[in-house]
Amino acid sequence: MLSVREQAERTSRAYRDFLRSGSTRLKNDILAEIAAGLEGGAGAVLEANRQDIDAAKTSGLSPAMIDRLALDEKSVRGMAAACREIASFADPVGRVDGMTVRPQGFRVGRMAVPIGVIGIVYEARPNVTIEAAALCLKAGNGTVLRGGTAAYRSNAALVRIVRDAVAAKGADPDLVSYIESTDRDAVNELVRQDAFIHLIIPRGGESLIRSVTEHSRIPVLKHYKGVCHVYVHERADLDMAASITVNAKVQRPAVCNAAEKLLVDRAVAPVFLPRIIPLLRERGVEIRGCERTRAIVPEGVKPAAEADWTEEYLGLILAVKVVDGLDEAVRHINGHSSAHTDAIVTADVRAADRFVRETDSASVMVNASTRLADGGVYGLGAEIGISTDRLHARGPMGLAELTTYKWVVLGDGHLRE
Amino acid sequence: MLSVREQAERTSRAYRDFLRSGSTRLKNDILAEIAAGLEGGAGAVLEANRQDIDAAKTSGLSPAMIDRLALDEKSVRGMAAACREIASFADPVGRVDGMTVRPQGFRVGRMAVPIGVIGIVYEARPNVTIEAAALCLKAGNGTVLRGGTAAYRSNAALVRIVRDAVAAKGADPDLVSYIESTDRDAVNELVRQDAFIHLIIPRGGESLIRSVTEHSRIPVLKHYKGVCHVYVHERADLDMAASITVNAKVQRPAVCNAAEKLLVDRAVAPVFLPRIIPLLRERGVEIRGCERTRAIVPEGVKPAAEADWTEEYLGLILAVKVVDGLDEAVRHINGHSSAHTDAIVTADVRAADRFVRETDSASVMVNASTRLADGGVYGLGAEIGISTDRLHARGPMGLAELTTYKWVVLGDGHLRE
């Protein structure tokens, strides 16, 4: 078995070759070949997955974890369809932005180019293997994958299909590599290969992300938790506020862009809270309120603890707080949200404008549900995740966010005077 | 004295307040006040600087280091002028790019916003204190500065002027703070304040950058060395190639965008090398050549060692290599350059195009001197440095590169279906 360093070095070399050979046509041909390989090789993938699931059951993994691990014919067909869809998107590489002529007469602009080699560290879901490899490839990057131990047979089978497809089209299969070692140290080793890897994207729970960030010598783009707020301003349309709150909380409560907190201006709290709280409770939402909330709606509202203002429930719980106005709402959000997505409901244009400018989050919304924070909904095409970091990419990340740029200078013998 | 953590926390708080209050007018007023403060307070700054220089002489600092440390009336006036110039630039914050209407009817776009709190770790030059603080402030960021120990009295005097100016205009002076501890551990402490600081920019030598990168839990934007190449293609205009080579090497050899290596296609080497080598030697450049170079010009060319292909001389030395053609040139550059700036000289449009696409460097030039890689020359206005990293900002960094973005969604009750 190759060492982590050797694998990273090989992928780095394959990436450099691909800089030369990786035309749009070749990339799309490889993606089509992966799709065909998945359809033709579904049997082997499902057999490997069955072995992973047997082992997971034996080792007592939770049913929820096993559920995330499980593949079937339909999910493999879904992966193939995703590859074909990614092939259909415009190539994010090569576009030149802002080419200008400088006073000296030369031209300068910024060209979109691959980031380089991207390390993806993830947990049980095997479909991440295909999605991440396909998106990184479309953007011209090399990829070093390291999935969860419980899925290593499934992942190995999937990566074999990817590498065979890369080789079948004449490129170096090391463009995509998979760290097969199930040793936890392999991840720590991976995140120190700063000579060969340019970006690490961890996808998984808080402990995975913390551990990667702690050990990494390579820049890390975190996909962290979503503690999202809906703030109902005193000049909100209360019907709209109710429908946005319900949608943001219950439409899909287990995901990072679901609302976890509701802030309500004290001027409208006596009218709005007695309406929204029963509506949410009917849908099975547990309400945890501040003192002022409980004074207005005493029934069925549990007292909120300090930790409720920062916790990501990922379930049918909502913490509710009455605030004095926009200033307190913004201060509270900037102090307690995870800076993922926060929304105001208001009919007042100045309040909307101030909320947009002053709220320090990756997505800031006016009169819209936090659930809209999504690469597909924003029009990015594919989405590799939602960054909660501030640099390079913030919020939903699409193919363009898997590229960087270089400066291109076109002269005619221009010198520095 | 406040702890590093307390200082970072205070700057973080001041940054958040400034998100609300930091209008373009306020930022420009503060910059004008800093300029006035520098002019009015030059005496105190120069007195502090005199003490730093006395101490540096006593402790046996090298004359070159003392030279970089020294300030005079003119350099203080230069800092004031820089602040006024930065005030005159357009505000990089608030611009919304690519606002589009999605099929559901809401609008989404990306708004330029401050990065947050930026930590600047630098060495002896006290003028970095003012430049960095002024640029970060113009982009709405908080700044935590830590300069070289030898300059701490000068830096403290300069930061006092900045903080007084911030306070005089009604903002929180903690928006700019300076770590006064001369303990080396203070830097390690600083780069672990990921709860309060969002980006670290180290400016200095290789050992400083390595140490910061090794210890940092915060993203680091490196300003690393420049091992820049001029590649003379077989279809180059040789007059142009000669003038670009001379300019790139000798116009200012001590800076990162000066050329350190010359690659010459073997087809033109017998003509070009006997011309360019005497030209460079006349200007005092020491030539270190590969075997093929020395076979063509035996006289006055030292043999190049392996280390010569990767070393940044920052002086009048040039390593010269004969290559077989474009493929070898690109492979050599991608394997040996620091990915800062590399140039081709050619009259062939396909060679130029391939060089631009395949060379994996921050600035890639056709028929232009590497010395043009500069924020001012590219039209960025001010420049905080030249990033050799690949993420967030690559190559010359101006005010726009001191911002990030947030997604702004403007709806009218839009929900996720």
List chain B residues with CB under 8 Å of A407.
362-364, 373, 378, 394-396
Residue A207 confidence (pLDDT): 86
Q: Which residues contact B62 (CB under 8 A, 6 or more apart)?
A: none
Name residues whose C-beta falls within 8 Å of residue A74's C-beta, 6 or more positions apart in sequence: none
Tens digit of pLDDT for each residue in A324-348? 999 999 999 999 999 999 999 999 9
CB within 8 Å: A378 and B244: no
Residues 14-33 of B with CB under 8 A from A: 16, 19-20
**B411 vs A367: CB contact, 8 Å cut-off?**
yes
Q: What share of chain B is helix, strand, coil (3-state, %, to 5)?
A: 45, 20, 30
Per-residue pLDDT at A157 = 97
- Looking only at the bridges linking them, the beta strands covering A286-289 and A301-303 are parallel
Neighboring chain A residues of B100 at a CB cutoff of 8 Å: 379
Q: What is the mean pLDDT of chain B?
A: 95
Contact B363 A390 (CB under 8 A): no
Q: Is B111 on the interface with A (CB under 8 A)?
A: yes
Please report the pLDDT score of residue A123 as a whole number: 86
- Strand B341-345 to B228-232 pairing: parallel
Q: Using the beta-carbon criterion (under 8 Å), do B392 and A391 form an inter-chain contact? A: yes
Q: Which amino acid is at B338?
A: S
Question: Per residue in A309-344, is it b (16+ CB within 10 Å) or e — as a string?
Answer: bebbbeebbbbbbbbeebebbbebbbebbbbbbbbb
- Total Cβ atoms within 10 A of residue A64: 9
What is the spatial distance between Cα A160 and Cα A104, in angstroms, rounded to a whole number?
53
Q: Is A116 on the interface with B (CB under 8 A)?
A: yes
Which of A368, A407, A413 has the CB atom closest to B395's CB atom? A407
Answer yes or no: do B252 and A416 touch at CB < 8 A.
Answer: yes
B391, A213: Cβ pair inside 8 Å?
Answer: no
8 Å CB contact of B413 and A362: no
B392 touches chain A (CB under 8 A): yes
pLDDT band with cut points at 50, 70 and 90 for residue B403:
very high
Summarised one tens digit per residue, pLDDT across range B49-73 is 999 999 999 999 888 889 889 999 9
- Name residue B328's amino acid: E
Residues A223, A227, A230, A234: is their CA dihedral positive or negative?
A: negative
In this prediction, residue A159 has a pLDDT band, given cuts at 50, 70 and 90, of: very high
pLDDT-derived band of residue A75, with 50, 70 and 90 as boundaries?
Answer: very high
CB atoms inside a 10 Å sphere around CB A160 = 17
Chain A, window 348-387: residues with a beta carbon less than 8 angstroms from a chain B beta carbon: 352, 354, 356-358, 360-369, 371-374, 377-379
- Break chain A down into helix, strand, coil percent, rounded to 5: 45, 20, 30
Task: Residue B368: list chain A partners with CB under 8 A.
Answer: 106, 409-411, 413-415
Reply yes or no on whether the pLDDT at A124 is more than 90: no
**Which 3 state secondary structure label does DSSP give B233?**
coil
Distance CA B173, CA B180 (A): 16
- At B160-186, the pLDDT tens digits run 999 999 999 999 999 999 998 888 899
Q: How many CA atoms lie within 13 A of A279 on its CB side?
A: 16
- Does A400 contact chain B (CB < 8 Å)? no
Mean pLDDT of B68-87: 95
Average pLDDT over all residues of chain A: 95
In chain B, the residue whose alpha carbon lies closest to the alpha carbon of A110 is: B363
CB contact under 8 A, B415 and A240: no
Task: Work out the average pLDDT over A276-288.
Answer: 98
pLDDT band at A236 (very low <50, low <70, confident <90, very high): very high
Give the pLDDT confidence score for residue B223 in this predicted structure: 84
Give the tokens for residue B281: 């030697």
- pLDDT at residue B213 tops 90: no
As given in the structure block, the two tokens for residue A379 are 């029009």
Q: Answer whether B414 sits within 8 Å of A372, measured CB to CB.
A: yes
- What chain A holds in terms of domains, given with CATH numbers, is 4-224+395-410 (3.40.605.10), 228-377 (3.40.309.10)
pLDDT for position A41: 96
What is the chain A residue with the closest CA to B332?
Answer: A16
d(CA B15, CA A360) in angstroms, rounded, equals 11
* pLDDT band for position A181 (cuts 50, 70, 90): confident
Q: Is residue B319 within 8 Å of residue B295, measured between CB atoms?
A: no
Determine the pLDDT at residue A407. 98
Question: Considering only A106-115, B37-46, B124-133, which range has the smallest mean pLDDT?
Answer: B124-133
Using a CB–CB cutoff of 8 Å, tell me whether B394 touches chain A.
yes
Rg over alpha carbons for chain B, rounded to the nearest Å, is 24
Nearest CA in chain B to A363: B407
CA distance B407 to A361: 8
Interface touch B356/A396, C-beta < 8 Å: no
ipTM: 0.93
The arithmetic mean of pLDDT across residues A143-157, rounded, is 95
Of A115, A244, A413, the CB nearest to B243: A413
Name B238's Cβ contacts closer than 8 Å, sequence gap at least 6: B232, B268, B271, B272, B275
pLDDT band of residue A223 (cuts 50, 70, 90) is confident
What percent of chain B stands above pLDDT 90?
89
Three-class SS of residue B385?
strand
Segment B218-229 shows an average pLDDT of: 92
Residue B315 scores a pLDDT above 80: yes
Q: Do A116 and B378 touch (CB under 8 A)?
A: no
**Does B94 reach chain A within 8 Å, measured CB to CB?**
yes
Q: Measuring CA to CA, how many Å separate A140 from each of A5, A361, B342?
A: 21, 30, 21
pLDDT confidence tier of residue A82, bands split at 50, 70 and 90 = very high
- Residue A362 has its nearest CB partner, among B20, B406, B413, at B406
For range A135-146, the mean pLDDT: 97
Substitution target from A194, A374, A391 for chain B, most B beta carbons within 10 A:
A391
Q: Where are the beta strands (DSSP E) in A115-147?
A: 117-122, 142-146
What does the buried/exposed string (b/e) look like for A287-305 if buried means 16 or more CB atoms within 10 Å of the residue's CB?
bbbbebbbebbeeebeebe
- Tokens matching residue B330: 């690109």
Contact call for residues B30 and B165 (beta carbons, < 8 A): yes
- The predicted model gives A139-157 an average pLDDT of 95
Percentage above 70 pLDDT, chain A: 100
Alpha carbon distance, N-terminus to C-terminus of chain B: 55
Mean pLDDT to the nearest integer, A243-267: 97
For residue B78, the distance in angstroms to the closest alpha carbon of chain A comes to 21
Per-residue pLDDT at A224: 84
Running DSSP on this structure, what letter comes out for residue B171? S
Neighbours of A376 (CB within 10 A): 11
Residue A322 identity (one-letter amino acid):
V
